[in-house]
Amino acid sequence: MRRRTFLSHGVTAITAMLAPTLTWAAKSMQTGLVFDEIFLTRFFGPDHPEQPERLQVARKAITAAGLDSKLQKIPLKQINDSELKLAHSAAHIAGIRSNHGALIDTYARAGVGGTLAACDAVHRGKVRNSFVLVRPPGHHAGNAGEVVGFCLFNNVAIAARYLQRRLGYRKILIIDWDFHHGDGTESFFYDDPSVLYFSTHRFESYPRTGDPERRGAGAGLGYNINVALECGAGDSEVLHAFDTQLMPAALRFKPDFVLISAGFDSRENDPLGCFNITDQGYADLTERTRAIARASGHERIVSALEGGYNLEGLASGIVSHLQALMK
């Protein structure tokens, strides 16, 4: 009897000792979600497609799908000019503030802070991977000193440099499945072999960049992959591009960290796009991305929202993407 008591106490003590570890381990298997009310601010005019309702509807859809309790909420990180300067010029940072005012500047910085917070959480093992439900988008932002294509600061480009220079990762893969080419992102890494940029997009649409012949320069030659698709391209065309062009390059590259410019204006029925990717297609693209990370020896993925202007379509595409990240 005494022995049983001892044993049961012993087990209780061991369980108590392990509890924080078990909790941490369970959380580290979760997918993170970055969202903040500040992203619901209206930046542009009332009829502008880049509207706060995009995230309102998406947030509700995430709740309706029963995902809230399974996602690890990640708060924004406070950032300053030094983080913005990881990618942008001082002139661009000053231009955003002087051309568009302190308020818009603050909201755009919050988007960067959200993306970097997701990188921190994955880096520290708090979550396995993370989605950043953010606006405004970022992949058109280079160093123009003003808003371009609804973008102010390039969330994903800054995250890539943050991962390299602050967190010590060497090779970053950026996968951009937005309908539009991420000209800003391409511009930062065009001659850089440490960042592999892959984009599927319609070449003839805004911003009319993304020529497949532009494959990088100097040491970065071959590390910029543009796949131009025609109107009507759907799951099979985009998956074909992933399987035949992204996969071989990414498996050779072996990224230490993967970033996704997750645009959902490449989805069917988007008012600004003419591709036909379905919700299942986004799940498949997500699974391909996870396979690349796993083949590189880890699960480190941060996905940040870019475009997507059909409210219901955007929301269901995001839910499908999240569910595939959470599997």
Nearest distance from C-beta of residue 70 to Zn ion, angstroms: 28
Nearest distance from C-beta of residue 65 to Zn ion, angstroms: 24
CB 120 within 8 A of CB 159: no
Count of beta carbons in the 10 Å neighbourhood of residue 240: 14
Nearest distance from C-beta of residue 272 to Zn ion, angstroms: 6
Which residue, 122 or 132, has its beta carbon nearer to Zn ion? 132
Peptide bond into 207 cis (omega under 30): yes
Nearest distance from C-beta of residue 199 to Zn ion, angstroms: 11
Closest CA to 168 of 119, 203, 100: 119
Find the helix or strand (DSSP H, E) in which 55 lies: helix 53-64
**Active-site annotation holds for 92:** no
Nearest distance from C-beta of residue 274 to Zn ion, angstroms: 12
Q: How far apart are CA 172 and CA 159, in angstroms?
A: 10
Q: Which residues pair with residue 261 across a beta bridge?
A: 176, 304
> Which entry of 140, 181, 201, 321 is annotated as an active-site residue?
140
Which residue, 55 or 79, has its beta carbon nearer to Zn ion? 55
Q: How far apart are CA 177 and CA 166, in angstroms?
A: 26
Q: What share of the chain is helix, strand, coil (3-state, %, to 5)?
A: 50, 15, 40
| Nearest residue to the partner Zn ion, using Cβ | 307
Token readout for 106 is 């603050």
Interacting residues toward Zn ion by CB under 5 A: 178-180, 263, 265, 307
CB 290 within 8 A of CB 325: yes
Q: How far apart are CA 221 and CA 98, in angstroms?
A: 36
User: Which residues are the active-site residues?
Assistant: 140
